[in-house]
């Protein structure tokens, strides 16, 4: 049976870096041509990077994209055709488009038709939907085009219009961000679309970090039955080359409303470089979260042109995890620690901080801020004479630490990594302008129970104690007053995280959460903490999204509102 050789170029792009992105695309095209590929598929909006957000509303951004696309068309090898994501001018708004390049020119443009407007997606705000389907014919091979959401519902108009076309292949350009549990969903949905079409689907996903989002790659090709026959690795760039059988023989003409483009590139040379198509072993949930966090902090640091990062290491588990992830992502030579104890810092946490720095191979000077704290108290204390000691004094310590880490950031151009986790940010168990200081909050979407699990996984994966076991086993504490423990202010983390998942990620009501078996008083308290601390989260640094609903891009709540459900006591 005749076969068609296809390459999926899973690349890591940067928003707005047109020349750099174009160079990556050209390099991948040359590698594909050397492997004998006839067509090369790239991710959604690969030329400009994804998501470009309001940049696409700037006319000069679109003009730059159009100019770069013309340059790209002239730089690809003559033996391959290319399908690449680009922003293009529309009627009222720009379009999220797929450009078909062949013979040194732009042969066709297909505009994304199903624009997602949920979760992290806001495409209906900045893009105009396309209205027509597009099919290509390349050397007798019939190929349909979709962009991401176009293939997401097998019963949609976008799929139904192509179902009678006797396609040999459907191409899908995608930029689907990671969250835990999403990868199997992609395979299931695309597999269903392949079965609805009766044709293989090549799904090329973006890889890399962009602000809060991490794109995990994992591009794949299904057979007509929806089963995955080849898959690229996740969380890294790869060129996946696959041979697919084609139908051949007589087939009907294009249906009404379907544009038809015939491509005639120069004939390339055959190649024996094609590796055996394979599907990598699936990752555990903890490994994929770890890989997402590492990729997110690496790309955020490097794409924002920081040489190194700074982590305030307390001896607690959160800062230990952040430091370990930073070392694995960037290398120990680019990670700097600082320990800033006061008299409330225990000997155990001080020694654990030193052990962690030694285990990770990073520098970590220890600078006591006790005198600075006492001096600050002597300054402001007279202004609240007669007032009882409360959380104000605790927050003052945290804010002095924030002051110092930001000073070091300024002096050495180091990106400060904030160390708060999702459980803390959800309940407000964090200090504005204190431990929330930083340019990137790496684990802000990681629940505390997952923090513990990741630390154990890191040690197990390394086969040694990188994060001190005593750090993992010690009851968590902010150490801002004598004998303080997190459990003094919050429910146990396994209980807290279960309630937070139900309320934040699943949007369940208090009564629905109570019906799961939770104490009504605890649920009410947690819900009030979440709702009352939106103002803090609004001021938090960005961080990697790893759950289905992260604070910020996903969950958008007003700070000021008077909606109080009747079951919440005032």
The tokens describing 479, both together, are: 């150490």
Query: Is 169:81 a contact under the CB 8 Å cutoff?
Result: no
The CA angle 496-500-505, to the nearest 5 degrees, is: 160
Q: Which tokens is 362 given?
A: 């990073």
- Rounded-to-integer distance, Cα 566 and Cα 570, Å: 9
**Residue 2: its pLDDT value, please?**
81
Q: What is the pLDDT of residue 240?
A: 97
Give one word for 215, left, alpha or beta, with left for phi > 0 and alpha for psi -120 to 50. beta
Assigned CATH class of 286-538 = alpha beta
Residue 27, CA distances (Å) to 22, 23, 100, 220, 384 in order? 9, 6, 17, 21, 65
The per-residue pLDDT for 570 is 44
Location of structure tokens 């459900």: 565
Q: Determine the pLDDT at residue 273.
A: 53
Query: Could you read off the pLDDT of 375-434 as tens digits, one per residue?
Result: 998 999 899 988 988 888 888 988 999 999 999 999 999 999 999 999 999 999 999 999
Report pLDDT digits (tens) over 497-521: 999 999 999 999 888 999 999 999 9
Residue 275 three-state SS? coil
Counting as low any pLDDT under 70, the low residues of the chain are: 1, 248-256, 265, 267-277, 345, 476-488, 564-570
Parallel/antiparallel/unpaired status of strands 3-10 and 238-245: antiparallel
408: left (phi over 0), alpha (psi -120 to 50) or beta: alpha
3-state secondary structure of 299: helix
* Catalytically annotated residues: 44, 112, 148
Nearest to 15 by CA among 46, 45, 39, 49: 49
Helices (H), 361-490: 370-380, 391-412, 422-427, 448-462, 469-473
pLDDT at 477: 63
3-268: CATH topology is Nitrilase/N-carbamoyl-D-aminoacid amidohydrolase (3.60.110)
Is the full-model pTM beyond 0.75?
A: yes
Query: 136 in helix, strand or coil?
Result: strand
Q: Domain coordinates of the chain in residue numbers? A: 3-268, 286-538
Q: Which two tokens stand for residue 111?
A: 């505009």
Nearest to residue 346, comparing CAs of 488, 433, 471?
Answer: 471
Where is 302: in which H helix or E strand?
helix 285-303
Contact 478, 490 (CB under 8 A): no
- CA-wise closest residue to 367 among 317, 416, 404: 404
Q: Do 51 and 74 form a contact (C-beta atoms < 8 A)?
A: no
């Amino acid at each position: 049976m005749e076969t068609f050789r296809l390459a999926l170029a899973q690349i890591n792009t940067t928003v707005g870096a047109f020349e750099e992105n174009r160079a990556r695309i050209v390099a991948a095209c040359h590698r594909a041509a050397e492997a004998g590929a006839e067509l090369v598929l790239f991710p959604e909006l690969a030329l400009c990077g994804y998501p470009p957000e309001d940049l696409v509303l700037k006319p000069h951004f679109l003009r730059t994209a159009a100019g770069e696309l013309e340059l790209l068309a002239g730089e690809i090898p003559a033996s391959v055709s290319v399908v690449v994501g680009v922003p293009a001018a529309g009627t009222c708004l720009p379009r999220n488009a797929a450009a078909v390049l062949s013979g040194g020119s732009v042969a066709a443009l297909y505009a994304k038709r199903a624009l997602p407007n949920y979760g992290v997606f806001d495409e209906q705000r900045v893009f105009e939907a396309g209205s027509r389907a597009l099919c290509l014919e390349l050397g007798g091979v019939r190929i349909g085009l979709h962009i991401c959401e176009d293939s997401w519902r097998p019963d949609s108009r976008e799929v139904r219009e192509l179902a009678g076309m006797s396609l040999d292949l459907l191409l899908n350009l995608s930029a689907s961000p990671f969250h835990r549990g999403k990868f199997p969903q992609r395979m299931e949905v695309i597999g269903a679309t392949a079965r609805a079409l009766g044709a293989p689907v090549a799904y090329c996903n973006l890889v890399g970090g962009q602000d809060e989002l991490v794109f995990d790659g994992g591009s794949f090709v299904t057979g007509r039955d929806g089963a995955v026959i080849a898959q690229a690795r996740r969380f890294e760039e790869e060129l996946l080359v696959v041979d697919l059988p084609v139908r051949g023989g007589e087939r009907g003409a294009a249906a009404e409303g379907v544009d038809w483009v015939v491509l005639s590139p120069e004939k390339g040379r055959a190649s024996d470089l094609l590796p055996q198509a394979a599907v990598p072993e699936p990752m555990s949930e903890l490994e994929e979260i770890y890989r997402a966090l590492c990729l997110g902090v690496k790309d955020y640091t490097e794409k924002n042109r920081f040489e190194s990062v700074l982590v305030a290491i307390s001896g607690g588990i959160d800062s230990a995890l952040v430091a370990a992830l930073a070392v694995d992502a960037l290398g120990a030579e680019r990670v700097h620690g600082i320990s800033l104890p006061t008299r409330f810092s225990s000997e155990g946490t001080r020694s654990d901080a030193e052990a962690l720095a030694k285990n990770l191979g990073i520098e970590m000077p220890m600078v006591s801020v006790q005198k600075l704290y006492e001096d600050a108290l002597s300054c402001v204390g007279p202004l609240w004479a007669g007032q009882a000691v409360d959380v104000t004094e605790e927050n003052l310590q945290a804010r002095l630490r924030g002051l110092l880490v930001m000073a070091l950031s300024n002096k050495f151009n180091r990106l400060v990594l904030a160390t708060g986790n999702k459980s803390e940010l959800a309940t407000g168990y964090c200090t504005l302008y204190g431990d929330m200081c930083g340019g990137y909050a790496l684990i802000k979407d990681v629940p505390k129970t997952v923090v513990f699990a990741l630390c154990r996984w890191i040690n197990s994966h390394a086969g040694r104690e990188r994060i001190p076991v005593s750090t993992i086993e010690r009851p968590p504490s902010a150490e801002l007053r004598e004998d303080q423990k997190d459990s003094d202010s919050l429910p146990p983390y396994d209980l807290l995280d279960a309630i937070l998942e139900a309320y934040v990620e699943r949007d369940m009501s208090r009564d629905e959460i109570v019906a799961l078996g939770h104490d009504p008083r605890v649920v009410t308290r947690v819900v009030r903490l979440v709702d009352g601390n939106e103002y803090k989260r609004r001021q938090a640094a960005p961080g990697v999204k790893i759950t289905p609903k992260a604070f910020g891009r996903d969950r958008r709540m007003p700070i000021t509102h008077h909606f109080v459900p009747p079951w919440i006591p005032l």
